[in-house]
A and B are shown apart, each in its own frame.
Chain A
Amino acid sequence: MTTQEHDASVYEQMQTSGEFQDLKRRFRRWTFPMTVAFLTWYLLYVVLSGFARDFMGIKLFGNINVALVFGLLQFVSTFWIAWAYARHAEKKLDPIADKLRHEVEEKTR
């Protein structure tokens, strides 16, 4: 068996291992729905900007209208999702990723 084939089988073993599947699940279960959520939220904003201008023009206080608040909320949601992802990754992904990396590096050395 050449080194390369050996490496390949290490990766395939790792890919099917429970721990790796757990890491993959934790990654995808957070990022995929969140991506759908923020894209939908953004598209809602763009569609309303095109088709619901009377609604966007409703004044909430002073000259601050729905359009401005909706736009600023996109900033708030972006900052919040970025922060939440960083927290999720540090707590739920990094420890498993680090452990698995050491394991594979031991085997492929």
Chain B
Amino acid sequence: MSSEALATTLFLAFVALTLGITFWASRQTKTAADYYAGGRSFSGAQNGLAIGGDYMSAASFLGIAGIIALSGYDGFLYSIGFLVAWLVALLLVAELMRNSGKFTMADVLAFRMSPRPVRTAAGVSTITVSIFYLLAQMVGAGALVGLLLGITSPSGKALTIVGVGALMIVYVVFGGMKGTTWVQIVKAVLLMSGAALITILVLGHYGFNLSSLLGEAATQSGKGGNFLIPGLKYGTEAQGLAGKIDLISLGLALVLGTAGLPHILIRFYTVPTAKDARKSVLWGIGIIGVFYLLTLVLGFGAAALVGSKAIAAADKAGNTAAPLLAKAVGETFLGEVGGTILLALIGAVAFATILAVVAGLTLASSSSFAHDLYAHVFKRGNVSEREEVLVARISAFVIGAVSIGLGILAQGQNVAFLVALAFAVAASGNLPAILYSLFWKRFNTAGAVSAIYGGLVSALILVIFSPVVSGSPTALFKDADFAWFPLSNPGIISIPLGFLCGWLGTVLSKEHNAAKYAEIEVRSLTGVGAEKAAEH
């Protein structure tokens, strides 16, 4: 059996299992709380695994391993930003949001402010962030499947995107949060096991001596000692000062973006209490932290055992470093059959990874459309629960279909910057609105709306006029040049600007609701009146 056939078989087994789960979940999903929040009945550990499954995207699995394999240490900078970011979520956001919100990020804002403008702003921002992230994953999925299954024709890749999109739509439309969560849990277990297995084999090959692994990686990369320090990819000496400031800008967006990502925030609503939300994040930090330590070994292991040249030859961005490493260690330990099996295993894990993440994103954006925009802005709250859930399902279908279409159109384009952009928008618009809302007494509607639009628009404008869109050899539009902003990452400007807009909007408006602030403060810290878990 070839590796492609075995990978396809394993992947079909995953699809069969997850479709079974979706069917089971669809029968359990009756109310809005079931659809949006899985009945709030997941345990902290289950939700922690699902947080890992939702967060560890193909970009962080294959992408970071690839960056480390090609550019050495720099990939580790990404991992650390992604991990430390969870402390913001743990200390300032998770529990308070669970106590004061219901289904979406906007619920927390709408609590003490004029609901329609803040829900509109939060809905627009949620859908924008989720679609960017979704598009990056969909385009990545097409490219990845091409590499892993040897499908190279554009129609073959398009077909893959349709397949991934169709499965994602089925999970979300029928399974809702319950189905999506279980898909993420299964994926997290598979991903952690796969990554741990390869890591142990790699370390075993070097006698569990990290230093000799690093030495071999540095030698095989052809870059020597520079491979083990920062600077081969981000903020290279050739880019000068702007490059180094760009690195800091990226770091800021990574560390502050996570706690403003809508598909992460809605996970806090899937557990019965704020204490369980805390436990979820603790589990999530453990799983995600260990996973990034594994990717460090995978990346350096790929450089050492496969060699940076062979990895770059297979894919310029290094996305196949982890699969190629799996093949190489499999062959070392178990001969050719071993290589085939491990390659297939990692290929199937990569598919599962993509599916779980895109499902989470589709759920977040469709929930926000149905709950924030349709039910509360268009219908002013006059809508039955049944109708709202129906609209959520229809919008999941529409968002899925649109992302399939955009994914096919953007095929072959360099859209990797969209993930960093999603983090930048989340950090610049969503995070200031959430933090002010939970902690600042004086905050009001004008402030919330200014923070969200100010952060969102400034991040978008800066990226449009940055080297990632035009005026550089790797830009989206290579032939045009309208880039006047020198950084690829807008965070260093747009994050302070988002906070500033929120402050300015607040002080310029007289509106202030002391009674509602008293209520949200008491509720967020004590859990009074928090949404209860469903009884089944």
Contact = CB atoms under 8 A, between A and B. Distances in A.
A8 B211 contact: no
Most buried by A among B83, B229, B231: B229
Contact of B210 (A27, A47, A64): A64
A12 B212 CA distance: 63
Interface string B56-92: 0000000000000000010011001101101110111
Contacts of B278: 86, 89
A68 B217 CA distance: 14
Nearest to A15: B518
B526 A38 contact: no
Nearest to B530: A101
**B interface bracket (residues with beta carbon within 8 Å of A):** 35 or more
Contacts, number: 155
B519 A82 contact: no
A72 to B, nearest CB: 8
Most buried by A among B210, B245, B278: B278
B90 A85 contact: yes
A56 B230 contact: yes
Contacts of A68: 73, 76, 214, 228
Interface of B: 73, 76-77, 80-81, 83-84, 86-88, 90-92, 95, 209-212, 214-215, 218, 225-226, 228-231, 234-235, 244-245, 247-248, 251-252, 255, 275, 278, 281-282, 285-286, 289, 292-293, 514-516, 518-519, 521-523, 525-529
**A interface bracket (residues with beta carbon within 8 Å of B):** 35 or more
Contacts of B293: 75
Contacts of A15: 518, 521-522
Contacts of B81: 42, 46
Contact of A79 (B214, B235, B285, B529): B285
Given A67-B73, A105-B528, 16 more contacts: A8-B518, A11-B519, A11-B523, A14-B526, A20-B526, A42-B251, A45-B80, A57-B226, A63-B211, A78-B84, A78-B86, A81-B87, A94-B275, A100-B526, A104-B529, A108-B528
Contacts of A27: 525
Contacts of B252: 43
Nearest to A74: B80
A30 to B, nearest CB: 8
Contacts of A20: 522, 525-526
B282 A86 contact: yes
Interface of A: 7-8, 11-12, 14-15, 20, 23-24, 27, 31, 34-35, 38-39, 42-43, 45-47, 49-51, 53, 56-57, 61-65, 67-68, 71, 74-75, 78-79, 81-83, 85-86, 89, 93-94, 97-98, 100-101, 104-105, 108
A75 B80 contact: yes
Contacts of A71: 73, 76-77, 80
Given A50-B248, A85-B90, A12 B514 contact: yes
Most buried by B among A8, A71, A108: A71
Contacts of B255: 39, 42
26 contacts: A12-B515, A14-B518, A23-B525, A23-B526, A27-B525, A35-B92, A42-B251, A43-B252, A49-B235, A50-B248, A53-B231, A56-B229, A57-B229, A62-B214, A68-B228, A71-B76, A74-B80, A78-B86, A78-B87, A82-B87, A83-B282, A89-B278, A98-B526, A104-B526, A104-B529, A108-B528
